[in-house]
Amino acid sequence: MRIVVLAGGIGGARFLRGLKSAVPDADITVIGNTGDDIHLFGLKVCPDLDTVMYTLGGGIHEEQGWGRADESFAVKEELAAYGVGPEWFGLGDRDFATHIVRTQMIAAGYPLSAVTEALCRRWEPGVRLLPMSDDRVETHVLIDAPDGTRKAVHFQEYWVRLRASVPARAIVPVGAEQAKPAPGVLEAIAAADVILFPPSNPVVSVGTILGVPGIREAVADAAAPVVGLSPIVGDAPVRGMADKVLAAVGVESTAAAVARHYGPDLLDGWLVDTVDAGAVAEVAAAGIRCRAVPLMMTDTEATAAMAAEALTLAEEVRA
Ligand code: GDP
Ligand code: CA
């Protein structure tokens, strides 16, 4: 079975771990969000690709959900001693090595997709991990400036430094219009037996991937059923501040509103949590087959059960 998953960071990575456990023999291609990428200290950092790679490769800091286990911060402290920031982005010593290798390879002329493949040779994530694009796309967030105008900040500054504490007025994926899908992305979508949207952020993770010209169309036109899992449980994101960026695109933070936001052109099936069972009829009325099942990724077993439910729903819509 060929499965394609459009993944962000933590939500995507944890789901993928469950999916691999549910269907160990499946051929899984992950199309990763690179809109969160940022240049820091002269290095190219790809937070979502790395979260997927470390989580599936056994190097993740489990409790935190991002970054490396057994991390130390000597480089960051030394940089701070020179007055060199930003201090708000947590780059550990082990993590730095990944970004150095990546930046070095990119400077030598390798595209991000080739670099990601090379990094994955060490981590053996058990999936084919593709960046959505080899071209630079950077998500910016428009916020209110003190003088009443609007200013754009990098997504990481909004999310990590400001902790989404001010309203997001708009989400701007800078560079998306000119970006091309990375080699293999459209081919994987066209050849897929099932396409899954994990419980990743619908705006700044899955939405950014779909915003690369050609990807949304490929998913909509794919022969494979497309099934998503709600990142919103009980009218709130399970983790993080997805409600802030949903508000910026005029979408309520409910499982049903997110399904309608993707729409029946993209989605054939949608899973909501059992606490949102009341939303099933509304999603079905929008033309998307829907079921309520437990959607909390408390451990790999629970997550594998979610993945199995998604695949069952995909089989149903195919029939
Ligand atoms: P990020 O790039 O690290 O923000 O990660 P993603 O975009 O892949 O996923 C973030 C989303 O995962 C958030 O909107 C959370 O609501 C969602 N999420 C995290 N843990 C769970 C969980 O256990 N169950 C569900 N349904 N959603 C989750
Ligand atoms: Ca992310």
159 domain-assigned: no
80 domain-assigned: yes
152 domain-assigned: no
Q: At what angle do helices 93-107 and 74-81 cross, to 10 degrees?
A: 80
| CA 36 to ligand 1 center in whole angstroms | 15
50 labelled binding-site residue? yes
| CA 205 to ligand 2 center in whole angstroms | 6
pLDDT at 184: 98
β-bridge partners, 128? 29
Domain range for 291 is 2-134+178-318
The ligand 1 atom at the shortest distance from the C-alpha of residue 13 is 8
**Region 229-249 average pLDDT:** 95
Whether residue 31 is predicted with pLDDT greater than 90 in this model: the reply is: yes
154 domain-assigned: no
| CA 237 to ligand 2 center in whole angstroms | 14
Whether residue 319 is predicted with pLDDT greater than 90 in this model: the reply is: no
For residue 4, give Cα distances in angstroms to 122, 181, 192, 270.
Answer: 22, 14, 6, 16
Whichever domain contains 273, its CATH number is 3.40.50.10680
Cα–Cα dist 25/61, whole Å: 26
From the CA of 295, which ligand is nearest? 1
pLDDT at 283: 98
Enclosing H/E stretch for 307 = helix 300-318
Name the residue among 305, 297, 252 with its Cα closest to residue 22.
305
The ligand 1 atom at the shortest distance from the C-alpha of residue 8 is 8
- The proportion of the chain whose per-residue pLDDT surpasses 90, expressed as a percent, equals 98
Q: Which residue has the higher pLDDT, 151 or 319?
A: 151
Residue having the nearest C-alpha atom to atom 17 of ligand 1: 231
* Residue 216 pLDDT level (bands cut at 50, 70, 90): very high
CB 228 within 8 A of CB 207: no
Return the structure tokens found at 107.
Answer: 């400077």
Mean pLDDT across the chain:
97
Q: Which of 15, 163, 201 to mutate to test the pocket of ligand 1 (most atoms within 8 A of CB)?
A: 201
Q: What pTM, to 2 d.p., does this model score?
A: 0.97
| CA 296 to ligand 1 center in whole angstroms | 10
pLDDT at 250: 97
Number of structural domains, the chain?
1
From the CA of 206, which ligand is nearest? 1
Question: What's the one-letter identity of residue 145?
Answer: A
169 domain-assigned: no
147 domain-assigned: no
From the CA of 296, which ligand is nearest? 1
pLDDT at 197: 98
116 domain-assigned: yes
Return the structure tokens found at 261.
Answer: 């936001």
**Region 209-234 average pLDDT:** 98
**Region 119-128 average pLDDT:** 98
170 domain-assigned: no
The position carrying tokens 């089989």 is 315
Q: At what angle do helices 10-22 and 300-318 cross, to 10 degrees?
A: 80
For 81-91, how does the pLDDT look when each residue is reduced to its tens digit (9 = 90+)?
999 999 999 89
The residues lining ligand 1, judged by C-beta closer than 6 Å to any ligand atom, are: 7-12, 48, 51, 199-201, 205, 230-231, 233, 237-240, 242, 295-297
For 246-270, how does the pLDDT look when each residue is reduced to its tens digit (9 = 90+)?
999 999 999 999 999 999 999 999 9
**Region 172-199 average pLDDT:** 98
| CA 10 to ligand 2 center in whole angstroms | 7
**Region 12-27 average pLDDT:** 98
